[in-house]
Amino acid sequence: MARKNTTARVLKAGAPKSSANTKSRSNTMWGGRYKLGPAEIMERINASIGFDRRLYAQDIAGSLAHADMLVAQGILTAKDGRAIRRGLIQVRGEIESGRFKFSTKLEDIHFNVEARLTELIGAAGGRLHTARSRNDQVALDVRLWVRDTIDRLEPMLADLQAALIDRAEEYAATIMPGFTHLQTAQPITFGHHLLAYVEMFGRDRGRLADCRARLNESPLGAAALAGSPHPIDPRKTAKALDFDRPMANSLDAVSDRDYVVEFIAAASLAAVHLSRLSEEIVIWCSAPFRFIALSDAFTTGSSIMPQKRNPDAAELTRGKTGRIVGAFVALCTMLKGLPLTYGKDMQEDKEPLFDAADSLELGVAAMAGMVRDLKANPERMRAVASADYSVATDLADWLVREIDLPFRQAHHVTGALVGKAADKGIDLDRLSLAEMQAVEPRINRGVYRVLTVEASVKARKSLGGTAPANVVRAVKEARRRFLGRSR
């Protein structure tokens, strides 16, 4: 029964109450064709001002460039151009000061800005839209917004890399277990582990830079879809807005949202990388591991268990990955069935875009804070690294190198020695030489030199390896590659 009542209320809200009421809601920006205004439910579903007001700075920047071009081409008078510029700057100030009154009846940021501009300067405000459509206008605004967001994210990711590089230098010789299948595999250094994420976030920066390069074309001048009959100069507006060039095809200009999908795809991968590091922080902070600790700044307590210190910053960063990947799926689904050129469906690109960008920026900032805040527990890390026969591969490599066993045979001999040590409940270096020689007679006392975790990590000097000396060099190189500095 309650469900029926809810539906009835929605339907009632969506029905026009009278000609007088609907006429009062008619949109003066485009309503000349319409005798009645939209139903209330139509007004609600159609309006985007609740979220696209975030585009105000880009919308006004595009309008200023468009107005300047119209004046330069003789389409607008210099007097109108000055009035428009003065009015747009005032509108921007009103929005930034919080004095601007947004209206859902004016649907979107474009109409809200234009309506206020016309209030301020009169008929000249109505001339601003000459040779322009909301189709190329919104395409421009979103393109500018994504570009601005990439420009904001890039230094944030670089800062996260800087934090990781600094901690990698600090822990260049700190031994920890390296895992496969979350099982102890081989000893590595904590610094080496952190540098792996430096590489990941470096690729994320590269993907965002690629996206920025591809999106840096101006759609302004495409108008609704077919171009403009006015003698416009799209190259002038493109240059004024720091685009590389105008878009070559007017249909593509108004319908393209590839750059939004590409941005969110890049954001999704960056979020996955944040999530992987978050997961490790959560594991490392747990009592069975105790590899690291986070301070009060990045943990929370429990409402019932006073001893708890929960790594909630890491958990929330990990959790936001679903929102960002979900935005990617939403955008692809929205676009997949759209014929050229513009469909109102494309209004649905903004909320996922804004949410994905906000979530990623928050996650990157939180992760940089956690990396700088964490304190390692080297003793615990080393203890776990030395357990579970993590130097078994070093023994196999010694057999290959010192007594010329084929690796497969060395693997078999090492397995037999691990089995013997496991049966006795001791580490490999606690087996006697006689016990080893019972499995392989050519083993000599030199084998004991490779059966410590310190020897294991020190030996791995190959390019990209975990040896502390390698990590020190890799830190220096990472600073040069990613940060453009030596310190």
Give CA angle at 416 (414, 419), nearest 5°. 110
Q: Which of 148, 198, 152, 151 is nearest to 365 (CA)?
A: 152
What does the block give as tokens for 321?
């990955």
Give the separation between CA 346 and CA 62, rounded to whole angstroms.
20
CB of 107 within 8 A of CB of 56? Answer: no
Contacts of 437 (CB under 8 A, 6+ apart): 443
475 burial class (0-12, 13-18, 19+ CB within 10 angstroms)?
buried
The number of angstroms, rounded, from the C-alpha of 142 to the middle of its chain's C-alpha atoms is 17
What does the block give as tokens for 14?
């969506």
Contacts of 286 (CB under 8 A, 6+ apart): none
Mode of pairing for the β-strands spanning 375-376 and 292-293: antiparallel
Give the separation between CA 179 and CA 283, rounded to whole angstroms.
13
Pick the catalytic residue from 181, 303, 462, 486: 181
Active-site residue flag, 218: no
CB of 153 within 8 A of CB of 128? Answer: no
Active-site residue flag, 181: yes
Give the separation between CA 260 and CA 93, rounded to whole angstroms.
28
Give the separation between CA 217 and CA 197, rounded to whole angstroms.
32
What does the block give as tokens for 385?
């690294």
Pick the catalytic residue from 24, 286, 295, 302: 302
What does the block give as tokens for 196?
């792996």
Query: What is the crossing angle of helices 78-97 and 56-72, to 10°?
Result: 170
Residues forming the active site: 181, 302
